[in-house]
Amino acid sequence: MSGLAQGYRLETDPSRFDRALMHEVLANSYWAQGLTRERMDRAVDHSLCVAAFHGAAQVGFARAVSDRAHFAWIADVFVIPEHGGRGLARAMVGHLHDHPELAGVRRFLLVTRDADGVYEKLGYGVPDDLSWFRQYRPESGWR
C-alpha cells in the first residue's frame, strides 16, 4: 500500500503473520486480556486480516469481522509502541475499508477507549444515540 513510511508494508496472507506476537499483545491488551491462543487463532482464521511489517518483523495487526454484505466490525487493532505514530493503524483500518470483500458494506463499527484521533481521521464518530445498541454476554462465554 502506498503512503506507508519507508520500510513498512502491509500483508494479508495469514501464513506470514507472527501469531505468537499477536497472541502476546492481544492477551495483554485491555480488550482481550487473558485471550487463549486457540481462541485467537479461531478469530483470525474467520476474519479478514491485515498486518503491518517493518522489514521481516510484524509490528501491527487489525481484523474485520463481517457478513460481507451489511456490516463489518473492526477489531484487535494494535501497533507495537516503538512503531507508533507512523500512520500504521490508519493504514491497516483503511486497507480493511477498501478490501474488495467489504465493498458495499453499509456500516463499519468498532469499540475502543483509545486512539480516537486515528479513528476520527477515518470517519468514525460516537453515535448521537446509543439507546439502540444492545449486547448479550452469555454466562458460558469467554470474558
Distances (CA, A) of 4 to 7, 59, 90: 8, 13, 10
Q: Are strands 57-66 and 8-11 parallel, antiparallel or unpaired?
A: unpaired
Position with higher pLDDT, 51 vs 121? 51
The CATH fold of domain 8-121: Aminopeptidase (3.40.630)
Tell me the C-alpha distance between 47 and 60, whole Å.
16
The model's pLDDT over 41-93, given as tens digits with 9 standing for 90+, comes to: 999 999 999 999 999 999 999 999 999 999 999 999 999 999 999 999 999 99
Q: Where are the alpha helices (DSSP H) in 3-123?
A: 19-27, 37-45, 88-97, 116-121
| 3-state SS class at 83 | helix
The model's pLDDT over 16-49, given as tens digits with 9 standing for 90+, comes to: 999 999 999 999 999 999 999 999 999 999 999 9
Tell me the C-alpha distance between 78 and 87, whole Å.
12
Distances (CA, A) of 12 to 23, 27, 105, 132: 17, 21, 19, 34
pLDDT for residue 15: 97
Residue 79 corresponds to which cell in the numbers above?
501497533
